[in-house]
Amino acid sequence: MANSLYVGRRARNSFWAALCYAATGFGLLWLALILGALLWKGAGGLSLDVFTKVTAPPGVKGGLLNSIVGSLIVTAIGLALAAPIGILAGTYLAEYGRHSKLSIVIRFVNDILLSAPSIVIGLFVYQFCVVPVGHFSAAAGGFALAIIAAPIIVRTTEDMLGLVPNTLREAASSLGMPRSLVIRNVAYRAVMSGLVTGVLLAVARMAGETAPLIFTALGNSLFSVNLTQPMSSLPLIIYEFARSPYPDQQKLAWTGALIVTVAVLGLSIVARVMAAPKRGER
């Protein structure tokens, strides 16, 4: 009697454990399928032309030069806007206003922005930057990406500064350092790799974003570095070429997808390696 109860419990345990194994296998299977497809379809199209020629109409041999440069420029604009604002706002939350009511509200708002649909951010920037000016521009695209990146940097900066031991701050303050110097010369330095991690994760996120660029940067089939004009970017060209009926363009879409994925996953792996505590520490 007792034995059968035990057998039943063991059986139920194995059943659920098997389901958990299956779930993990399911998750890893998808990762493998997607990465496999990217390598299979994308690697074949990799050639020097991809990096040296601009996108061309169907039938003409083209590359992705304007999209790659566009992606870099738009992401750089986003980074230039988001990094200072994100780090400063994160500093306020962690250092000056750690327990204030305002911080509770801002922390909440930041968390909402962190997971807000990116297409909604795109619509906002369209209303705010594109409609008044009257035309699409790379700058608007960069602004949209900054709104997506800033909350990530705010969050990581605050979390990282929270790890700085208070004794470190007190020691610096007791030497007579003003608060701002304590923050910049002691707290920032103590968690520098963490701050860089946050910024890298934000760059990775920006590099893969498509939805907010559709109605801000728009895309451009010509080479352009003019910030006030529409600009191409890799995700935008993937969106356009993946739905194209021409095999040439489809192939380029897959190559672009491979480049974007390698860049995004590479950045997040670097970020993770930097964030991991080094051997010997702690």
Partner 1 sequence: MTATAIETMTVEAKAPDRARALGRMRTADSGFRIMTLAAALIVLALLLGVAISLFIGSLPAFKAFGWHFFISDAWSPPKQRFGAGAAIYGTLVTSFIAMLIGVPVGLGIAVFLTELCPPMLRRPIGIAIELLAGIPSIIFGIWGVYYFRPFMQDYLQPLLIHTLGNVPLIGYLFAGPPFGYGLLTASLVLAVMILPFVTAISRDVFETVPPVLKEAAYGVGCTTFEVVGNIVLPYTRVGVIGGVMLALGRALGETMAVTFVIGNAPHIHASILGQGTTISAMIANTFADADPGLFTSSLLAMGFTLFVITFIVLAAARLMLARLEQRG
Q: Which residues inside 51-80 make contact with partner 1, applying CB under 8 A?
A: none
Binding residues among 157-196 for partner 1 as defined by CB under 8 A: 178-181, 183-184
Residue 23 in contact with partner 1, rule: CB under 8 A: yes
AA identity, residue 15: F
Residue nearer to partner 1 on the CB measure, 69 or 92 = 92
Binding to partner 1 (CB under 8 A): which residues in 132-151?
Answer: 147, 150-151
x-marked contacts with partner 1 along 237-276 as a string, rule CB under 8 A: -xx--xx---------xx--x--xx--xx--xx--x----
Residue 55: C-alpha distances to residues 10, 61, 203, 250 (Å): 61, 8, 24, 12
The total of other beta-carbon atoms located within 10 Å of residue 131's CB is: 11
Give the closest residue to 57 by CA, choosing from 243, 225, 213, 244.
Answer: 244
Residues in region 206-235 near partner 1 by CB under 8 A: 207-211, 214-215, 235
Residues 76-115 vs partner 1: string with x where CB under 8 A? --------xxxxxx-xxx-xxx----xx-xx-xxxxxx-x
From the CB of 211, what's the least distance to partner 1, in Å? 4
Of residues 54 and 87, the one with the C-beta less far from partner 1: 87
- Closer residue to partner 1, CB minimum distance, 20 or 48: 20
